[in-house]
Structure 1
Amino acid sequence: MEKSMKIATLLGSAAAGLLIASSAAAQDPVVRTSAGPVRGTDEDGVHVFKGVRYGADTAPVRFQPARAPEPWRETVDAKAYGNTCPQITSGEVSLFASWVNDTPQSEDCLFLNVWTRGLNDGKKRPVMVWFHGGGYVTGSGSSHGYDGVRLAKRGDVVLVTVNHRLNAFGYLNVAGLTDDPRYAKSGNVGSLDMVQSLQWVRDNIVKFGGDPGNVTIFGESGGGAKVSTMMAFPPAKGLFHKVIAQSGSMSLKGFSPAIGTAIAADIMRVAGLQRGEVDKLAAMPFEQLVKVEAKSKSRGAFFRPVTDSTVMPRDPFDPDAPPMSKDVPLLVGTNQTETRLNIGVGDPSTFTMTWEDLPERLGKTLPGTDVAALIAQQRKLHPGDNAGDIFFRVNTWRNYRKTAITQAERKAAQGGAPVYMYQLQWKTPVDGGKWQTPHALDIAFVFDNVAKSRSMVGEGGDQQHMADLMSDAWIAFARTGSPQTKALPTWPTYDAARRATMIFDSKPRVENDPEAKDRALFADLPAGREG
C-alpha cells in the first residue's frame, strides 16, 4: 500500500509538472508571421523571438539571391538564436569575452531576432534594425552585446537583429566568370539578404507592435558600412527611414566589377577549378569553401558590395551622397582611439612602441608618405603623447574618423535631411586603461547592456551613465530623426562650416570641429582598408 501511494504521489507530481509546463507553454507569446506562426518567450516585460526565419536555406542557391521560406502551419519555437552564416572563425579577443555566443555555422542562416513590449496592440513603436559588425566577412546578430531586452524596454521600441550571408557566400563576384544569369547578382547577394530582412520587417512588424513607416537601420563597424551601403542600394529604397552609422563609414565606395572578379578568379584557382566552373564552386561543401577562402589572396577578409550595373549602380558615398536617400536623416560618428583594438589585439607590441620603432611602423601603413614630417607635426600638436599614442591616432584617423567626416560632409552638402555627428571619448578602465576608447566600445552603451559587457567596459565607474546618455539619444533619433535628449546639451546638425560634434564622455559636450588641426593634417592621408 505504502509503495503504491509513493508511486501515485510521484505520478501526481509528474502530472502536475506537465500541467505547469503546458500552462507555461500556453502563455508563451505567439505571433503569426507571413510564413507561419512562431512562439517566443517573455523576459523582464519584453517579448523575445529568436531565430525567426526570413529566408530559405541558401545552400541550394549559393551565389544567388535567396528564396522566401517555405510556409509552415504548425507553431514553430522561436526561443533560440539561428545558425551563424559560414565564416572563418576569428581568434579570441579578451574585450569581447562577455559577448561571445557561439552558434553552429550553416548556409541555412537567414534568421532574425525580435524584441518588443507589445504584440498586435495597435501601437506604432519605432523599429530599430541592427546589422552586425565584422566587416562583410564575420559576425552574427546573436552576440550577447546585441541582446535587445533593455533597449526595447527602455525606449518602447521594437528591435530586430539580423543574420545574412558573408564573405564569399554573400559577396563573391562570380558574375564576371560566367554568363549564367543565375549568378548575375552574386557580388551583392549578402546585401540582398539584408533587403529581404527589411521586407520581412515591412510585412510583419505591425504584429510585433512596430511601425513599418518608421524604421531605423543601424550598425557598428561593418554594420555601419552596411547601413551606409543600403542608402545607395535601390532594392532597399523605401524600406528604412533613418540611418545610424557607428564607426563604419568605410564603404564610401564598393568594389569595382574588375576587383570583384579578380578576387573570385583567385578563389577559383585555389579551389583547383577552371575559370568557368562556377557550378562546381557552388556545389562545394561550405566547410571546404571556407578553407579555400582562407588560403586565397583575400584571406577570406577582403569583400564588400560590388558596384555593378545589375543591383548597385553607383558607389554609396562617392563622389557624393546618394540621391536615393536624400530625405533620410543620418547619425554618424566614431570612437576616439578605434585602432587600439583593431591593431593592438593582433600586435601587443604597439602598446610599447618606441620612437625609434615608429617611423618604420608608420611607413608600412603609409607607403609614400613623409612619415618623419608627420611624426614631427604630431609631436608638436600632442607633446604629451608617446610613440604608440601617435601610431594609434594616425591609424584611427585614416581608417575611421576621416571617412566619417567625409560621409557627413557629403550628406550635409546634399540637403534634404539632417546629419548629426558624434565622437565617443569615454575611456574604459579594462586592463589598466590601455585600450582607452577602442573600436566597438559604443555597443555596450547604445544597447544599454553594461552588465553584459564587463569585459569591454569594466566596473566601478560611470558606465551606466554613459549607457543612459547614448541609448536615449539613439532611441530619440529612431523616434523623431533627432538625437536630442534632455540630458544632452543642444546638439546642432552637422555642416562643413561649423562641424558641430557631440562628444560623449562623462560630461557630454558639443565641440565645433574637434581635433581641427589633426583633421587638416590628415586631409591627404590615404584611407585605410575597411575593417
Structure 2
Amino acid sequence: MNQLFSAALAACLLAAPAIAQSVQAPAGTVQGSGGDVRIFKGIPYAQPPVGTMRWKPPAELPPWQGVRKATSFGPACVQPRPRTPGIYTNPPERTSEDCLTLNIWAPQNAKAAPVFVWIHGGALVGGYSHEPMYDGARMAARGGAVVVSINYRLGILGYLAHPELSKESAEGVSGNYGLLDQIAALRWVQRNIAAFGGDPGNVTIAGESAGALSVMYLMASPLARGLFHKAIAQSAYMITTPELKQGRFGLPSAEAAGTQVMTALGARDLAGLRAMNAEELTATAAGKGYGPWAAIDGKVLTRQLVETWDRGEQAPVPMIAGFNSGEIRSLRILLPPAPADAATYAQAIRLRYGDLSEHFLRLYPPGNVAESMLAATRDALYGWTSTRLAIGQTAIGQPGYLYLFDHGYPAANEAGLHAFHASELPYVFGTADALPAYWPKIPGSVAERRLSTAMMDYWLAFARTGTPAAEGAPVWQPYGPEANYMAFAQAPKPGTKLFPGMFALHEAAVCRRRAAGDQPWNWNTGIISPVLAKSAGCR
C-alpha cells in the first residue's frame, strides 16, 4: 500500500499548478515550468543540421544570450508520415531538420541526482523524444532522478553514407549522423546537467528497440566512452551492420547503398540531394527501400557489434537487457512466409539447420507452427541479443541483469498481442494514461499499478546505484554463472536459465553465418535460413 500511496502522491504533485522555473546553465539560461518536478522542453544541444550542415556531424552550439523559453517541445526530426494506422501510429505534430533538442524533467530540489537519458525507438526511421508515453515526470517525481529525452536525425538524413560525403569529411568517413547526434547530446549533458541538479558522473543511457540498438552502438563507440556509466537495452537486436567501404556478410557497403539511393532519387550529385526538400527526400528514400543503419567506419564504430562484445571492448558498465515474450506478435512483417503444413516446416528446418535441426525443432516444434515461428524469430532477434549482452557484461566483470517481460492484460490478450513489442514502456514510465490511439488500453487496476511501480523502481534504483531493486519486490540477481533473470508477468518473479537451449542454438547459427562471411544474421532465421554449414570453432 505504501507504493500505491507514493504513486498517488506523485500524481497529485504533477497536477499542481505550473510556475516558471529558470536555470542558468553553461549553455545559457533556460526558463521552463513545473512545480515539484521542473520541466524544460525543446532545449537545443547542437546547431541545426540544415542547408550546408545537412549530412555533417553535429556542431557545438555557442552559448545563447538572454533567457531561452523552454516551455514547448521542439519539432521531431523529419520522418515519413504513416500510410496506414497501426498499433505504433502516433505521428508528431511538427517535423523539421532543426530538431536537435532535448527535454529535461528535474525534481525541484535535486542535487547530484542520477541522470536517466532516454533514446527513443522507431527503426531509426521514426519516433521522437516527446512521445507522451516517454513523459519523464513520474520517474522524476518518484525516484528523484533527472530524466532527459533526446531527438536525433532519422532515416536518410541521419544515416546516409556516400563517397562524396566521405571525400568532404576531414576523417574520410560518412554516415552515422544520427549516432553522432546522440553522442553530442550526451556531451551536452556532461557539460550542463549539474545546473539542473543532475550528476554528470552518474548517467544511465536507456532505449527500446532502435533506441536499444543505439545503446549498443554507444557502448561500442570509442567516441562515447566516459559519457555514461550504466546502460539499459530493452528489446535490442545485435544485427549485422554495413561497413563503410566494402560489402561484407551479404550486405553492400554503406557507401554503395548511398550511391544506389542517390540514383534512385534522380539526383546527379550531393548538391542535388542537399537541394531537395527534407520531407520529400525522406519519404521518397523510404519508398525506394532505403534502410537507415549505422556504418562501421573505423572512427565512430570500429567493428561489428558481435566482434566488439567477443573481444570485451564494449563499455565496462553495469547493464540491464531484456525482451518481451510476444515481440513478434505486433511485428509480423518480420515473420517468414508460412509453410504449407507442419511436415513442410520440419523438412525446411532439417535442410537448413542440419546437425542443429533437432535442437531447433525441440525448441520450436512443428506441433504448432504459428507459435514456433513467432518464438524462433523473437529469439533470433531479441532473446539471443539480450542474453548475449548479459553474458558479455558478466565476462568483463560488470553486472548484467537479464529480464523477460511476459505480462498480458485483457485488451492486449484479446487482440493476440500478449507481451507485444514495446508493451513494457508504459509500465517503466508510469504512463498507462498516455497511450497511442491504437494501443490496447491498460486497465487502471491495483495489479497493473503495482507492476508499473515495481518496474519503475527497479529501473530507477539501477540508475542510482547500478543495482535494480524495488520495495516489497524480489531481489533481482545479476546474470552470473547461474544465468539469473527476472520475469515480469503479473508480478516480478526471479528465475534461472531462461528458455534453456535458446541462446546456444542461435549463438551457433550466428557463428556459422559469420564464418561463411556471405550472409547476415538475425533476419534470416527458421525456414528462410541459409543452409548452415559446419565450421571450425562453431558448435
- TM-score range for the pair, normalised by the shorter chain length: 0.7 to 0.9
Shift of 1:226: 0.4
The answer as to whether partners of 2:79 and 2:155 remain within 8 angstroms in 1 is yes
Change in Cα spacing, 1:176 to 1:56, as seen in structure 2 (3 Å) is closer
Which of 443, 464, 473 aligns to 1:479? It is 464
Change in Cα spacing, 1:71 to 1:366, as seen in structure 2 (3 Å) is farther
Change in Cα spacing, 1:163 to 1:322, as seen in structure 2 (3 Å) is farther
Greater gyration radius? 1
Unpaired runs of at least 5, structure 1: 1-23
Change in Cα spacing, 1:362 to 1:286, as seen in structure 2 (3 Å) is farther
The answer as to whether partners of 2:114 and 2:464 remain within 8 angstroms in 1 is yes
RMSD across aligned C-alpha pairs, in angstroms?
3.1
- Aligned positions of 1:153-302 closer than 5 A: 153-175=141-163, 179-181=167-169, 184-251=172-239, 253=241, 255-258=243-246, 259-274=253-268, 277-296=269-288, 299-300=289-290, 302=291
1:109 correspondence with 2:93: no
Supply the distance in 1 between the matched residues of 2:108 and 2:24 (Cα, whole angstroms): 14
Shift of 1:231: 0.8
2:533 aligned partner = none
The answer as to whether partners of 2:212 and 2:234 remain within 8 angstroms in 1 is yes
The answer as to whether partners of 1:252 and 1:318 remain within 8 angstroms in 2 is no
Unpaired runs of at least 5, structure 2: 1-16, 247-252, 511-520, 525-539
Q: Describe the SS at the equivalent of 2:139.
A: helix
Change in Cα spacing, 1:76 to 1:140, as seen in structure 2 (3 Å) is same
1:32 aligned partner = 24
- Aligned positions of 1:400-419 closer than 5 A: 400-415=382-397, 417-419=398-400
1:424 aligned partner = 405
Worse overlay, 205-214 or 305-314: 305-314
Shift of 1:92: 5.1
Shift of 1:162: 0.3
Shift of 1:487: 2.8
Shift of 1:67: 1.7
1:55 correspondence with 2:46: yes
Supply the distance in 2 between the matched residues of 1:401 and 1:184 (Cα, whole angstroms): 36
- Aligned positions of 1:22-101 closer than 5 A: 27-42=19-34, 45-60=36-51, 61-91=53-83, 94-96=86-88, 100=90
Change in Cα spacing, 1:359 to 1:404, as seen in structure 2 (3 Å) is farther
1:510 aligned partner = 494
The answer as to whether partners of 1:422 and 1:502 remain within 8 angstroms in 2 is yes
Change in Cα spacing, 1:363 to 1:48, as seen in structure 2 (3 Å) is farther
Supply the distance in 2 between the matched residues of 1:367 and 1:90 (Cα, whole angstroms): 39
The answer as to whether partners of 1:241 and 1:328 remain within 8 angstroms in 2 is yes
Shift of 1:525: 4.5
Change in Cα spacing, 1:418 to 1:490, as seen in structure 2 (3 Å) is same
Change in Cα spacing, 1:177 to 1:39, as seen in structure 2 (3 Å) is closer
Change in Cα spacing, 1:167 to 1:478, as seen in structure 2 (3 Å) is same
Amino acid paired to 1:76: R
Q: Describe the SS at the equivalent of 1:472.
A: helix
Supply the distance in 2 between the matched residues of 1:142 and 1:468 (Cα, whole angstroms): 21
The answer as to whether partners of 1:270 and 1:292 remain within 8 angstroms in 2 is no
Supply the distance in 2 between the matched residues of 1:108 and 1:30 (Cα, whole angstroms): 24
The answer as to whether partners of 1:254 and 1:316 remain within 8 angstroms in 2 is no
The answer as to whether partners of 1:29 and 1:40 remain within 8 angstroms in 2 is yes
Supply the distance in 1 between the matched residues of 2:81 and 2:310 (Cα, whole angstroms): 34
Worse overlay, 361-370 or 387-396: 361-370
Q: Structure 2 length normalisation: TM-score?
A: 0.82
Amino acid paired to 1:241: H
Amino acid paired to 2:159: Y
The answer as to whether partners of 1:421 and 1:501 remain within 8 angstroms in 2 is yes
Amino acid paired to 1:219: G
Shift of 1:256: 4.7
Determine what percentage of the aligned residue pairs are the same residue: 30
1:10 aligned partner = none
Which of 295, 301, 304 aligns to 1:312? It is 301
Change in Cα spacing, 1:254 to 1:244, as seen in structure 2 (3 Å) is farther
* Number of positions where the alignment pairs a residue of Structure 1 with one of Structure 2: 486
Supply the distance in 1 between the matched residues of 2:82 and 2:434 (Cα, whole angstroms): 21
Shift of 1:377: 3.3
Change in Cα spacing, 1:53 to 1:367, as seen in structure 2 (3 Å) is farther
Shift of 1:511: 1.4
1:440 aligned partner = 422
The answer as to whether partners of 2:360 and 2:505 remain within 8 angstroms in 1 is no
- Aligned positions of 1:486-505 closer than 5 A: 486-495=471-480, 497-505=481-489
Supply the distance in 2 between the matched residues of 1:177 and 1:194 (Cα, whole angstroms): 20
Q: Describe the SS at the equivalent of 2:236.
A: coil
